[in-house]
Chains A and B, each alone.
Chain A
Amino acid sequence: MSEANATVDEELCVGTGICEATAPDLFEVGDDGVSHVLVASVPEDRLEAARRAAADCPTRALKVE
């Protein structure tokens, strides 16, 4: 079973919430104004959504590997 890790570089993140809009079960912008990954690792059936969120991140803060 392949899983992946998602990480948010908090220096780059400005909390646009595009990841949250793409995969609200995986990402959420916190009160600190930056995005947080809600899962320990990304399940296989959500990998495509997570990768799309990373591709669409306007500051390249989100990485999925």
Chain B
Amino acid sequence: MTTVMPNADSINLSDLEFWALPPTDREAAFAALRSERPFAFFEEPEFAFLPPGPGYYAIVRHADVEAVSSQPKLFCSGNGATSITDLPVELNEFYGSMISMDDPRHAKIRRIVSKAFTPKMLETLVDDVEKITDKILADARKVAESGDGTFDLVKHVSAPLPLKVICQMMGIPEDEEQLVLEQTNFILSGGDEEFIQDENEAMRLVLEAGQTLAGIMGRLAEERRERATADLTSALVRTEVDGETLSHQEIASFFILLCVAGNETTRTAISHGVYALHQFPEQKARWIADPSLTKTAVEEIVRWASPVIWMRRTATQDTEVNGHQFKAGDKLIMFYNSANRDETVFKDPDVFDLGRDPNPHFGFGAPGPHFCLGAHLARREITVAFRKLFEQMPDLEVAGEPDRLRSSFINGIKRLPVRLTGTA
């Protein structure tokens, strides 16, 4: 690795410019933090005129992230897991989902849908995922052939695949898929000016996006209350927790969580995977020659991409993590991206190795009750996406650099130019 280790004291994770740095620079910065400032404290980043809070600790080592994540009574999610700033109460109507709840209520709500996301249940979806992928790739090839052979992988492949799958599971009609995608782009834009130009508008736009999604959900929920089908919405409106059905707010929040979490993450993993196979062609050749590599390859793509960069916890009492003291109320940000490159856990962590085994990455979260609900679904989508890409687009080449999302939260790729050469 030729990147120079930065001065650990000069790193500021709250500066949005840090997240615009090239990936190797950011990785070097986290390596410096792991080595020299493993519990670095930072002032909170600005967010939409809200009063700045007291600051947060960056948890960057694998073992420390695991300790925080696996002790939910000491490090809770109830003060908000997806925002460093303490959010105003109005936003809870749309964004106060189970991801920012603690047990027992969190577990009760999660169990309503956990069956729908298990491996055996997802078997029933296999055909659907395959059909969706076939059509997406056929449409992408048409786009390429009608032009100069190029297309945007994100727009035509990695975004539509998880979108169509999660919408189908939820029962969202096809003609509303694009609207759903637009709202989730806003919500997870993270400060990238492509999506929100004016910071003053950020709060309003994020609220409106929540309202739009809640509106879609409201109509769908009514229909499913009248007539149940096998979809997730029917399960959501029918099931009772503690003898009560979920409130309208809870259903809206849940729906938004599934739309947001079910879209941005998997598409990011697929996009990073395609780019990595381009950067490391010997890995691509290895996988094509040996399809039995798929299981470890998919895990390595998730580790490499680390689509969700962090989640927040808040200390519920004075406590400690591997010898470091925290006070009640301290905000801790678990940096999964850094844990996933921890040199004390992963041999040659900066090597993209599709055979990496074991691979105890935290791309789906570290151990704990909030472990990714959609992990099996994501693995299946990524598996099918790459199998189909190898089968149907052996002539795919990356044609340019990825256009990266400028966000501390999602390691997103907005565009990835690719071309089909028509040869293979």
Contacts and interface: CB of A to CB of B under 8 A. Distances in A.
Interface of A: 11-12, 14-18, 20-21, 24, 28-34, 57-60
B373 A34 contact: no
A15 B367 contact: no
B346 interface: no
Given A15-B118, A58-B371, A34 B376 contact: no
A21 B114 contact: no
A21 B376 contact: yes
B296 to A, nearest CB: 14
B53 interface: no
Given A58-B367, A59-B367, A59-B368, A20 B111 contact: no
Contacts of A20: 118-120
Nearest to B118: A17
B71 to A, nearest CB: 11
7 contacts: A15-B118, A20-B118, A20-B120, A33-B113, A34-B114, A60-B70, A60-B367
A12 to B, nearest CB: 8
Chain A, interface SS category: loop
Interface string B108-152: 001111110111110000000000000000000000000000000
Taking residues whose C-beta sits less than 8 angstroms from the other chain, chain B's interface range is 20 to 34
A16 B368 CA distance: 10
B364 to A, nearest CB: 9
B120 A24 contact: yes
B349 interface: no
B328 interface: no
B111 A14 contact: yes
B107 interface: yes
B67 interface: no
A59 B369 contact: yes
A33 B110 contact: yes
B16 interface: no
A34 B371 CA distance: 14
Nearest to A33: B111
Given A58-B368, A58-B371, A59-B367, A15 B114 contact: yes
A17 B110 CA distance: 12
Given A20-B119, A29-B118, A15 B369 contact: no
Contacts of A14: 106-107, 110-111, 114, 369, 371
B375 interface: yes
B371 A16 contact: yes
Contacts of A28: 118, 120
A24 B371 CA distance: 19
A22 to B, nearest CB: 9
A50 B299 CA distance: 21
A65 B110 CA distance: 28
A32 B111 contact: yes
Contacts of A32: 111, 115
Given A21-B376, A59-B369, A15 B119 contact: no
Given A14-B107, A20-B120, A21-B376, A33 B112 contact: yes
A20, A57, A58: which has the most chain B beta carbons within 10 Å?
A: A58
A39 B110 CA distance: 25
A17 B378 CA distance: 13
B114 A17 contact: yes
Interface string B322-356: 00000000000000000000000000000000000
A5 to B, nearest CB: 23
Given A58-B368, A58-B369, A16 B114 contact: yes
A31 B239 CA distance: 11
A27 to B, nearest CB: 10
A20 B119 CA distance: 7
A26 B96 CA distance: 36
B386 to A, nearest CB: 19
Interface string B359-374: 0000001111101110
Contacts of A33: 110-115
B367 A17 contact: no
